[in-house]
Chains A and B, each alone.
Chain A
Amino acid sequence: MKLRTVILAGTAMAFASSAALATDLTLVSWGGAYQASQKNAYTDPYMKENPDINVIWDESSAEAVAKLRAMNEAGNVTWDLVDVVASDAIRLCDEGLAIEIDPATDLAAAPDGTSAADDFGDLLVSECFIPQIVYSTTFGYRSDVEEWGGKEPSNICDVFDLETFPGKRSLEKRPINNVEWALLCDGVPKEEVYNVLETEEGLARALAKLDTIKDNVVWWSAGAETPQLLADKEVVIGSTYNGRLFALIEEQKQPVKMLWDAQVFDLDGWIIPAGLPEDRLAATKKLVKYATDTQRLADQAKFISYGPARKSSAPLVGKHATLGIDMAPHMPTDPNNAKNTFLYNYEWWADYRDDIDAKFQAWLTQ
């Protein structure tokens, strides 16, 4: 009897002490410079203030949707906070794989008292989505192409102009953004793009426009490909995320320039997986409230050229942490860059993605 008591007491103490030691939280992101910026701006300071929290990083965001579904089916969710793009967040929310967020209680208000809901504004595109950054998909071009005779592209439709700007282009191997750009350059007004795309003729029109450059396109599926292709002179113009082009231009000093025209804004942010146990959910909510407050989002811009998702963070954006250059002019949201932007319609794509993607892939293989 005595021995048993001792063992029980010992076990209980071991549990108690391990609980007091640290809570492990698994955060999932995209790896690379982006994940590093999150670590520097959010979790390192948070762990300093909360020594009982230990953050573990996972670089699986690219497969997050499928993995979360698999975890959910297996009934064993091991991730606590997952970084996904907005369209994936909508999908996860629809599938019931992410929990809904109440901005009033789960997110921090701005320093001036503006509520989180107002501070994020319409960037809260899904009930489950906590935005972090605004990034844009836009074009970069080489500034040293001899055949161009000194001319440089300034308009999105120059991408489709093989006569003035000969050479290969790189485009993403999926319909999103490409079909919108094609319609814009086929004379469809910005606000009409999705209405036109909704019809079969509209999509056919977009693909026909893309057909004009199809033979000169290298299709990419990973964001790092376009910078590499530009650096290798394999392509002369290519679309990718603006942060990748920033690194290519400012850090690797390649003769490449940004074509901000008709850049497509997109959002990246957190979701909290459904099915977390109470204690981990509480710890995750506390972390995410801190990580998405005004100062933290502004801090992130020191490390990477993506715009903070809160309006209140914009004035706080400073200089790059190592390059020492002013980051504001490199933000996609900077007024100089955002003269002509295109609004990506999440809701519309959630509806039409499957159908258009099938047709787009069939078109690609033809």
Chain B
Amino acid sequence: MIITKMALPRRTFLRGVGATLALPLLDGMVPALSAMRNTAAQPVSRLYVGYVPNGVIMDKWTPAAEGAGFELPQTLAPLKPFQDQLTVVTGLESQPMFPLPGEGTGDHVRAAAAFLTGVHPKKTEGPDIRGGTSIDQIAAAKFGQQTQLASLELSLEPNELIGACEAGWSCAYSNTLSWRNPTTPLPMENQPRAVFERLFGDTDDTSQAARMARIREDRSILDSLVQEVGTFRGTLGAGDQDKVNQYLEAIRDH
């Protein structure tokens, strides 16, 4: 498997590689995810979150008793081989999903927005949406170094509804589960092909040589971009820099 992330912080790496075009693999930059690291003794942690929109039948999901050695309920029966690694947690009812006094309809929208953020979203149909940073993005920020991509946000259906999805609530709230920060909902990818291409490139050739060439090209573009966007941003007033900051951050983190 090809490793693209280095053990050093990305920014250091970017600065170091900046002017050169070849990809140096120095000793000090042993890939974090090399065969040495990712062994049974020290596996890389990953966080997976799945959302089941119509819910589950709770009494067939929740074990009858607390503690270890519980009887697997019917819905969870297929997980029997992994039962010794499984913990079912109760008491997680999401309070922020419930309407505030006088708030009215909006259950679907609130549920999606509060699910991973734990924050009651701001009721608006306009551009001033506000949620919270979702736990998957917090995890991505902390552990994303260890994997090729920090985070993948995937959905089964395209979410492209326009306007207000429930009276008074913008569709931006129900189009995603994942929030980079309170004002930036992240779009969700629903095309498997696109995800494949993010991971392995968009040609048939996933050989090391091809991928290294691609990484080299990407790096040059990104370095040049970081510079240009920085200059671009410098010409903007403080109040106008927000969008460009997002772009700059996203490039730097790439």
- The answer on A and B forming one complex is no
